[in-house]
Amino acid sequence: MTLACGIDFGTSNSAVGVCDAAGPRLLPIQRGAASVPTALFFSFDDDSTAFGHDALDRYFAREPGRYLRAIKSLLGSELFDQTTRVKLKQYAFGEIIAAFLRFLRTAAGERLGAPPRSVVIGRPAFFVDDDPTADAAAERQLEAAARTAGFERIAFQFEPIAAALDYEQRVNAEEIALVADIGGGTSDFSLVRVSPERARSSDRRGDILGFTGVHIGGTDFDRQLALATVMPALGLRSPLRRRGLDAPSWYFFDLATWHRIGFLYDPKVLTQVRGVLRDSAEPEKIERLLRVLEQGKGHALLAGVEAAKIELSSADLATLRLDGSVADITLDITRAQLETAVAESLQRIRARINEVLRIAGLTPDAVSAVFLTGGATRMPSVRESIAAAVPTARLIAGDAFGSVAAGLALDAAKRFAQR
Ligand SMILES: Nc1ncnc2c1ncn2[C@@H]1O[C@H](COP(=O)(O)OP(=O)(O)OP(=O)(O)O)[C@@H](O)[C@H]1O
Ligand SMILES: [Mg+2]
């Protein structure tokens, strides 16, 4: 019986893989799907907690409760030690992450006959940029959560290396591949020498030529697009009457940031926003902001922006329609607007590819293939930026939501074999 698994605990989506003699496979976790939204919903109606697709459905069905997304972004941050209030109970974020991991472990156990006891969990190159202490704290926090969730043996593997192990399953000859995993929270890269023979070796340290990453992903693109389009209609840069000032910009920044939205529902913040409304020269805008916060519609607003972003991967124009229950706004958004909003992030992603080449001591023409995984690699402008950094390599689109978990499963089978 397989009791070791790989967990891709993603900012936006999570998946669980296992590996046996037939190779790695993803387990159906919910409604037959292997990839589930990293989402929780605490109901105010019946005190139950829902996970994944169920959490999403209950929030969007307007059930009263507290909805949480992008909890991975809290690891290593100053927000991790805060708690979130659900009715009268305060939840620590460590408990919340543990509850989500327990949900994955239990669902995996239903497929496997018993919950897995050993796990390799994926981690980005950096949970926190430029702060090794915070980064180490993030891994410890995730490990503690996995232990609370019932795992006994816990190891970590870098997400871009896991994705490389998955890519290697499909190569026929030796080559140097750049693996680019652009997800919801981070962009991760590895340069790896892959081959069918090398895949069988247990020590791959010599084949990992370099890896790095940066804390930029699809959730940042959502924020940048929201700030450029919908937030001005809610009062971003809107003047106040008396002091010659604008409405404080941090409300809009937090409202556009998946893991910060919940903090805006604090009664103290609502009181402050009511004060801003009294002082506003454009009260109709601040009223929209207040309505979104009072009704707990921040995630619905940002989900509308995310949906427009995704539509713009295949269309030049997307219409964002927010009904009266959210903010009563209809906006046309062009692909050019999205590209302008994310341009600086794309430059930073490109700089990381140059950095991984430097770490590996390689020139771009040494890379023969680029393996793309992570949902944000579906964005044409993201692909173009990657392709421009390694112009002679062929681009290969992997399973955007399953590669990391499959690679972690391969790794788990090797590490926990016969133990
Ligand atoms: N077709 C698409 N076009 C643009 N973006 C997309 C598309 N599909 C998904 N995304 C974005 O991809 C992101 C999620 O990708 P993914 O599931 O790979 O991330 P993750 O693994 O949860 O995050 P991370 O690895 O950074 O922790 C979201 O920001 C989502 O909006
Ligand atoms: Mg990912």
CA-proximal residue: ligand 1, atom 21 (nearest): 10
How many angstroms separate the alpha carbon of residue 374 from the centre of ligand 2? 6
Rounded to whole angstroms, the Cα distance separating 165 from 353 reads: 19
CA dihedral 255, 256, 260, 261 (to 10 degrees): 40
Instruction: Looking at the CA of residue 12, tell me the nearest atom of ligand 1.
Output: 22
Regarding whether 123 and 269 lie in a shared domain, the answer is: no
For a pocket test of ligand 1, which of 310, 312, 313, 352 has the largest count of ligand atoms closer than 8 A to its C-beta?
310
Checking if the pLDDT of 14 tops 80, the result is yes
Q: Which of 261, 296, 269, 241 is nearest to 65 (CA)?
A: 296
- Does the pLDDT of residue 294 top 60, yes or no? yes
- Whether residue 247 lies inside any domain: the answer is yes
Q: Is 45 exposed, middle or buried (0-12, 13-18, 19+ CB in 10 A)?
A: exposed
Domain contains 315: yes
Mean pLDDT of 129-138: 97
Domain annotation covers residue 345: no
- Calculate what percentage of the chain has a pLDDT beyond 70: 99
CA distances to 12, 91, 347, 391 from 388, rounded to whole Å, are 27, 45, 11, 5
Mean pLDDT of all residues in 107-131: 97
306 lines ligand 1 (CB under 6 A): yes
Choose one of 310, 338, 366: the last residue of a domain.
338
Q: Are 223 and 161 found together in one domain? A: no
- The answer on 263 and 156 residing in a single domain is no
Position of tokens 């788990």?
412
Q: Does the pLDDT at position 180 exceed 70?
A: yes
The CB of 76 under 6 Å from ligand 1? The reply is no
pLDDT at 203: 82
What pLDDT was estimated at residue 418? 54
CA of 379 to the centre of ligand 1 (A): 10
C-alpha distances (whole Å) from 387 to each of 140, 178, 188, 377, 392 are: 35, 11, 15, 11, 8
Centre of ligand 2 from the C-alpha of residue 124, in Å? 8
d(CA 38, CA 258): 12
Give me the domain span that covers residue 307.
219-338
> How confident is the model over 84-96, as pLDDT tens digits?
888 778 889 999 9
User: Both 154 and 37 in a single domain?
Assistant: yes
Banded pLDDT at 419 (limits 50, 70, 90): very low
What's the gap in Å between 376 CA and the centre of ligand 1?
Answer: 5
Clarify whether residues 123 and 29 are in a common domain. yes
CATH number of the domain at 76, please.
3.30.420.40
DSSP code of residue 185? S
Atom index in ligand 1 nearest the CA of residue 185 equals 26
Ligand 1 atom nearest the C-alpha of 404 is 21
| Cβ of 72 below 6 Å from ligand 1 | yes
Report yes or no: 187 and 206 within 8 Å, Cβ to Cβ.
no
3-state secondary structure of 192: strand
Tell which one of 11, 14, 372 to mutate to probe ligand 1, the residue whose CB is within 8 A of the most ligand atoms: 11
The answer as to whether 30 is a domain residue is yes
Is the CB of 213 within 6 Å of ligand 1? no
Burial class (CB in 10 A: 0-12, 13-18, 19+), 29: buried
Please give the tally of structural domains in the chain.
Answer: 2
Burial of 170 (0-12, 13-18, 19+ CB in 10 A): exposed
Confidence band for 328, pLDDT divided at 50, 70 and 90: confident
| pTM reported for the whole predicted model | 0.97
For residue range 39-97, list pLDDT tens digits in order.
999 999 998 999 999 999 999 999 999 999 999 999 999 999 988 888 778 889 999 99
Cβ–Cβ under 8 Å, residues 308 and 320: yes
Q: Which ligand is nearest to the CA of 35?
A: 1
Does 183 reside within a domain? Answer: no
The whole-chain average pLDDT of the chain stands at: 95
